Structure 1
Amino acid sequence: MKILVIQMKMIGDVLTSSILFEALRKEYPTAHLDYLIYKHTTPVVENNPEITNIIIFDPKQDKGLKGLITYGQKLRKLNYNIVIDLYSKPYSALLAYATGAKIRIGIEKWYTKPLLLHVIKYDSRPQSSAGLAIENRLKLLHPLGIKDLSPIKPKVYLTTEEINWAQNYLLTHKVDMTRPIYMISILGSSYNKTYPENYMAEVLNFIASEKDCTLLYNYIPSQKSQVDNLINLLSEKAKRVSRPDIFGKSLREFLALCSQCTALIGNEGGAVNMAKALKIPTFAIFSPQVSKKAWSNFEGSNNYSVHLHDYYPEKHNYDDFKPKLFLEKLKDFVEIHD
């Protein structure tokens, strides 16, 4: 049995969709299970024991009709029995069709439905604390007779060497491991998904006033100026506990550092999903345009989230989402996770 899962989207989607491999492995213990994804998303599924092979799709190299045909021919030679297309846009659906797999499963979309033999209509209301992002993905296994699954949590698999590196790195940089360490998801995936920096500064000032802690920041070198701008807005106390000099120079380094943190706080997105997959508590600030029903999964004492619509269902402007609306909830979170 050979199964291909296609997820040509971003890091959070690739990580969340990896739950399918755990369910498929239980149903087909000896199956060959491949994951077709973009190269930059591979770090979140490295070392996953349920995945047989990671297959890289390069949109620059494999673009256009010629690239599609060539790539489709490569996939066809791999003789997949089942293909699950979690993207179900024209390009991915054409690749699923090109495999020649007798079972092709995807999301119900009128423009790709003819290319897929089984299509699933996503639910609009969650049935459990897992949230729609988890529940709808598991629905794609229904045509295989895999139903009534308990919610599966995405997992990130770090090596012992990576964990040891993170611990030594923090000690070398004189981080007090006896105090809370909060990883701050300082930026969203885009400008309009990023909590306004003056509001984020208020949030960090509040944390620093509540806890004797260390604040680490999730960013890449090209974003350093944005981090500096935010730190300039902080109170003196928040500046003292901020350590922008400590950051992961790769996604795997970020994951390793995050695994040593008390919690992750900040913009909802891939970093929040990765922290959850590491079993690190999270406090996520949702942008108004992102569905909390879909992505606020596994809410409870370990995972909090706030959305403008929690307070003003009729508003859609991030400027209306002032920190004072949720600081009491944030206080509860840091009291539990200190």
Structure 2
Amino acid sequence: MIGDVLTSSILFEALRKNYPESELHYLIYPHTKPVVEHNPFIDKIIEYDSEIGKDAIKFLKFLKLIRKESYSAVIDIYSKISSAIIAKYSGAPLRLGFHKHYTQPFYTRTFNYKDVPETKAGLAIENRMQLLKAFGKNFPRELKPKLYISSKEKGSFRKKLVKQGVDFDQPLIMCGVLGSSSIKTYPKNYMASLLDTLIKEKTNGQILFNYLPWQKTQAQDIYNQCNSKTQSRIFIDIYEKSLKGFIMNCANCDLYFGNEGGAANIMKALNKPTFSIHSPQIKKNYWAIYENGKNNRSVHLEDYSSIVFKKTTNNVDLKPEYFSKELLKFMHFNLKNPNQRGANKEIS
């Protein structure tokens, strides 16, 4: 969800450049707000609490508020029943969404999902950008998602990390040790093995763990499987419960390594190098955003095996030895010169 909201924000930059006088609103879930705060292309953020959709009266009141905005166009990236109803009730003469038989009647024009990317941006970017064709103007095929953060807030969290023992004269790595679900998670023993290899070769690396609050026990299990030297380089007690806090910690890291997901998308939007491990059940070409093999790199079982996995398959066997050398090469390239580490969009 977080990655979806962040990625969809590219549409605002594209629309603003073609319609500089337009007023652009973004309807999002409240918990995703930190990834679009301070975005200069968004005029208004409308928060939609999921509880609203569970109460008919509250939902009707919300629909009336949307209708009062008198939108000339609505773009529904979500394209689910609930969002399609909102789009239809808005009364906008132009309503765009993705082609699905059960929501098509709610839109004035729909688009099919692309199967093959045409650029290095990846399908997640290209599928969104194609909806802008409905406006009939010359929009780019791709744009890169960006996070706009306060330099003051970043500095505040940097000081906090220093107090917690982080040494910024040494590389700081954000590790996505767990995915958002079991099928999106690289096996824990494999992850521990990769961390041991990483620290063995890059002894001055410092590691922060990223995981969801309910995954703390699993994260601790991965930590326990690491050898003592690796454990000494992991700040297991540094954890930000809020998305805003996590973003600020990411902004103070040098790169990302771990499971593909929202954390990797956040790091890319901060212009930080990423090395992501894809789940076999998800097509790599969808979320492999802006990969060049150097600053952004990802691996998928299909890179090393011709086996095609079905979505119901849980037995993943993307062994560490398949790509450990690639990971180390990525680390050495992106951490060799502290002065060349990724920068991010900051506001004063």
Partner of 1:172: 163
| Correspondence for 2:322 | 325
Q: What is aligned with 2:344?
A: none
Map residues 41-60 of structure 1 onto 2, 5 A cutoff: 41-60=32-51
| Partner SS, residue 88 of structure 1 | coil
More off after superposition, 218-227 vs 323-332? 218-227
Map Cα deviations across residues 41-93 of structure 1 (whole Å, 9 max, x no partner).
11111111111111111121332544443221111011111100111122111
Classify 1:71/1:259 alpha carbon distance in 2 versus 1 (closer, same or farther; 3 Å).
same
| Structure 2 Cα separation of the partners of residues 66 and 245 of structure 1 | 44
1:309 equivalent in alignment to 2:306: no
Whether 2:104 is the aligned partner of 1:113: answer yes
**Across the two proteins, how many residue pairs are aligned to each other?**
329
Describe the SS at the equivalent of 1:141.
helix
Tell whether 2:270 aligns with 1:297: no
Q: Take 1:38 and 1:286, find their aligned partners in 2: how far apart are those partners?
A: 25
**Cα contact 2:132–2:139 (8 A) shared by 1:** no
Moved more, 66-75 or 115-124: 66-75
Shift of 1:267: 0.5
**Is 1:262 matched with 2:257?**
no
Q: Does 1:278 align with 2:278?
A: no
Q: Which runs of 5+ in 1 are unaligned?
A: 1-9
Q: How does 1:194-273 map to 2 (within 5 A)?
A: 194-211=185-202, 212-273=204-265
Identity percentage over the alignment? 45
Q: Which SS does the other structure have where 1:331 is aligned?
A: helix
Q: 2: CA distance between counterparts of 1:244 and 1:49?
A: 35
Q: Deviations over 1:216-236 (max 9, x none)?
A: 111354432222111110011
Counterparts of 2:33 and 2:324, CA distance in 1: 35
Offset at residue 101 of structure 1 (A): 0.5
Quick one: distance in 1 between partners of 2:215 and 2:80? 31
Indicate if the aligned counterparts of 1:68 and 1:91 stay in contact, CA closer than 8 A: no
- Report if the CA contact (8 A) 1:162-1:253 is conserved: no
CA gap of 1:302–1:19, structure 2 versus 1, over 3 A, is same
Contact 2:129 2:141 in 1 (8 A): no
**Structural RMSD (CA):** 1.4
Aligned-residue offset at 1:142: 0.4
Q: Which residue of 1 aligns with 2:113?
A: 122
Query: Do 2:173 and 2:256's aligned partners in 1 also have CA atoms closer than 8 Å?
Result: yes
Contact 1:205 1:235 in 2 (8 A): yes
Q: Is the 8 A contact 2:14 2:139 kept in 1?
A: no
Task: Please give the TM-score of this superposition, normalised by the length of structure 1.
Answer: 0.94
- Matched residue type, 1:289: Q
8 Å contact from structure 1 (residues 68, 95) kept in 2: no
1:87 to 78, 82, 96: 78
How much does 1:303 deviate?
Answer: 0.4
Is 1:103 matched with 2:100? no
Contact kept, 8 Å, 1:126 with 1:135, in 2: the verdict is yes
Aligned to 1:6: none
- The match for 1:5 is none
Distance, in Å, in 2 between the alignment partners of 1:191 and 1:165 is 34
